[in-house]
Structure 1
Amino acid sequence: MFQKALLARFALLTLGASLFVTGTAYAQASEDGFDKDAEDTLAGKANDKEEAAAGDKMPGEKEKKTAESGDTGIWDTTEDPTKAYRYVGLRYRHAIIPKGILNIFLDGGATVGVPMGGLEFGTRRDRLEYIFSLSYADYSSAEMLFKGKAQPDTAYERVQSDLAVIFGKVEILYEVPLDKRSRFSLLFGGGVGIGGVIGDLYRRQVYPGSGNDPGVPSQWNDCTAQGEPDGIYCANDNGHFGNYAEPSWANGGSKPFIFPWIALPQVSFRYKPIKMLQARADVGFAISSGVYFGASIDYIL
């Protein structure tokens, strides 16, 4: 009896130990994921690969980093002040020479508009911008009456211009950014240049016809020769009859063969919509040509 009871107890202990070992192994298998379904295991591996490809970032974390870094391709307009930016483009300007400026030196005349167009190349760094340009300016005008200061009315002449000037200019501007992305900027400065004059300046003596208002050239008639047809207004012996063209300075005449450009101040506004494109609006005053305004569009290299 005693041996049977001992064997029974031993059997119970053995069974209990087996159950304990089996339960522990089962629990460990569950914790390690070995008892998961095949589909769950494959999905987990695929997710691990996606996370590794994304740089172990949480969903949306990588996109947030890209947006914060400002690396948005052609829409990234931010400029580094220590880096040089160069561009080429087209420009147009229109100068207005008021009659009042002309009357500082002459009597008569009228307000004249001067269109200018050409090419430009610019470079900027550390808020300082240099713009080099080559442009064509049309200084032609309709007929006007002029005479020298303090001369009598008999000295009025009909003047017509077919002149043009080819300018080479340089402008120096200082940039004031208006935002952190370099999209909007104000620029302040001025420019200088020199131009070669081409074309003709015609002069003819005149006498009053239907009227004598110097501001209305059509009221005056051309003299045909000295003393004809008016003995007073056509009496000056200067030979300005018919299609007389004024000689240049080089030939003793009053037509310039070079023309200066001195502009101060100039104020510009620049807009940069994308990384490689900019547009600029300019307004300023040139001593030799009056008030001017214009615009340009440039490709940033």
Structure 2
Amino acid sequence: MARFTSLEARIDAAAHGVLARLPRGPLADGAVEFLVFGLKQAWACLFGGLMLGMILVTRLWWPDIGLARYDAWFLVALLIQIGMLAFRLETLSEAKVILIFHVVGTGMELFKTAAGSWIYPEEALFRIGGVPLFSGFMYACVGSYMARIQRIFDIRFSYYPPVWATVLLALAIYINFFSHHFIFDFRWVLFALVGLLYFRSSMHYRVFRFRHRMPMLLAFLLVALFIWIGENIGTWSRAWIYPDQADGWSLVSRSKLGSWYLLMLISVVLVTLVHPPRAYQQNG
């Protein structure tokens, strides 16, 4: 898997030329690593950041131009996706991941909106049932991020569980998102299985000069937390709302963090189907 697209390689070379001239030392090295980590994370979030920014701007101001906000979001999301490929900000393999997330997410949306878990309160021309088509791109934002960090941070794994086991667990999680409406909610069993599979697993990522290590269970939690924050922004913008927000916005329930935590497992597994996990080597 190539670490950078051609455009990213030029940006990386220019950045290295600047950063390599900075002074060395524990404090300077730490500051540089922190700065580069933030910049790379922002770059990995490019798709999601553009989508979230668009939602925020149109919440604050939207002209009466005969085009629904949801339809505008869908069309702009398509343009963003085409532009990222055309300007080589994204690889074809990442586009495959985004497409998979779009299909998986839209399938969940169709069921969940029919079950009343959340609603889309505005009109849209581009929709399937009660689901505007832009919604699939919100899941695609997660897929884009997960795929991009794999190469931008050159991520390797230690003690990664067998892929077949992670696929079965991801399938069970996805099924539970539907089945808990009819039978017992098995999420606590699923949390336990996630912990059992990944408690030894770590991701090793390169920022600038050094490799760093993070337990995968912690990485899942941190990403879930940021998605939950993004979800609060989305519901405040009335991109979608939960039943308890029909009469006015309120903070999204913290219990949703658990749902996003489990979604992280599905996300990671879907990405590994396109980018198989690479083992960490001490000198790699």
Q: Give TM class, smaller chain.
A: under 0.3
Q: TM-score, normalised by structure 1?
A: 0.18
Structure with greater contact order relative to length (CA < 8 Å, sep ≥ 6)? 2
Name the structure with the higher helix share.
2
Alignment TM-score, normalising by the size of structure 2 = 0.18
Q: Which has the larger radius of gyration?
A: 1
